[in-house]
């Protein structure tokens, strides 16, 4: 049981800690909205990681074998979603900045916590690397020796908890960033940098 707990924590942090496009978007979203919205978005990412951990422990090699032939289309779909998010984020930031300067209209309402959760859940689920990562980890550690439901449950919950703790930490960093950059120019710069990073990561994903 302890081995499954440690393996789940290591797996969760292993997939969550590397900063990628999802983490960049999470920090930027929290900086533009609120900590509550950011935490809900963070839990969406963690829920996807937990779901993939569950699929990997149950399906193992079969899941990885099914995903490998469609890995390229999924990678392109993920890159397209990231590009759309980057473009939308940049356009929204520029529009808000101009609206503030011209004082002609108010900024659009921020996404609700529920919408943030579902958005980040969907974005993370588009990344097939996560399930292949968990499948390879389970197989590499001997899935045949850890097929009992209790051990699988401990592994999945530990992976979810590890991912959630890291994503919430990123959201908290985004909230602090948003408080530090209270000016409209600072928020514009933050959004544009975030969009640029997401675009670069999306291009790298398919290059």
Count CB atoms within 10 A of the CB of residue 103: 7
Dist CA 114 CA 37 (whole Å):
8
- Residue 29: per-residue pLDDT: 86
Dist CA 42 CA 49 (whole Å):
11
Phi, psi of 130 (to 5 degrees): -65, -50
Query: Which of 124, 128, 143 is CA-nearest to residue 16?
Result: 124
Q: Please give the angle made by the CA atoms of 125, 189 and 79, to the nearest 5 degrees.
A: 25
Query: Which of 187, 189, 26 is CA-nearest to residue 107?
Result: 187
- Residue 79: per-residue pLDDT: 72
Count CB atoms within 10 A of the CB of residue 100: 17
- Residue 134: per-residue pLDDT: 66
On whether the CB atoms of residues 81 and 197 are closer than 8 A, the answer is no
- Residue 201: per-residue pLDDT: 61
- Residue 130: per-residue pLDDT: 67
Q: How does pLDDT run along the chain (207 residues), one tens digit per residue?
A: 787 788 778 777 877 776 667 787 888 888 888 899 999 999 999 999 888 888 777 766 566 666 667 667 766 776 777 677 778 777 877 877 777 654 444 555 678 999 999 989 988 887 666 666 666 565 555 444 445 778 878 888 998 999 999 999 989 988 887 766 555 666 677 667 767 766 876 677 676
DSSP 109: P
- Residue 138: per-residue pLDDT: 56
3-state secondary structure of 182: coil
Phi, psi of 5 (to 5 degrees): -65, -50
């Amino acid at each position: 049981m302890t081995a499954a707990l440690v393996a789940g924590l290591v797996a969760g942090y292993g997939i969550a800690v590397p900063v990628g496009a999802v983490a960049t978007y999470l920090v930027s979203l929290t900086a533009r909205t609120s900590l509550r919205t950011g935490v809900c978005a963070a839990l969406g990412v963690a829920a996807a990681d937990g779901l993939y951990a569950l699929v990997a422990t149950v399906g193992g090699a079969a899941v990885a074998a099914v995903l490998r032939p469609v890995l390229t289309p999924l990678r392109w779909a993920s890159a397209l979603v990231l590009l759309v998010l980057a473009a939308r984020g940049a356009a929204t930031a520029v529009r808000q900045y101009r609206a503030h300067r011209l004082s002609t209209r108010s900024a659009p309402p921020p996404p609700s916590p529920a919408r943030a959760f579902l958005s980040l859940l969907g974005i993370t689920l588009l990344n097939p690397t996560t399930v292949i990562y968990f499948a390879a980890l389970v197989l590499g550690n001997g899935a045949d020796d850890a097929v009992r439901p209790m051990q699988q449950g401990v592994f999945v919950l530990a992976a979810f908890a590890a991912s959630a703790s890291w994503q919430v930490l990123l959201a908290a960093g985004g909230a602090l960033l948003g408080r530090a950059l209270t000016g409209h120019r600072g928020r514009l710069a933050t959004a544009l940098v975030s969009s640029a990073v997401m675009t670069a990561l999306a291009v790298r994903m398919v290059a």
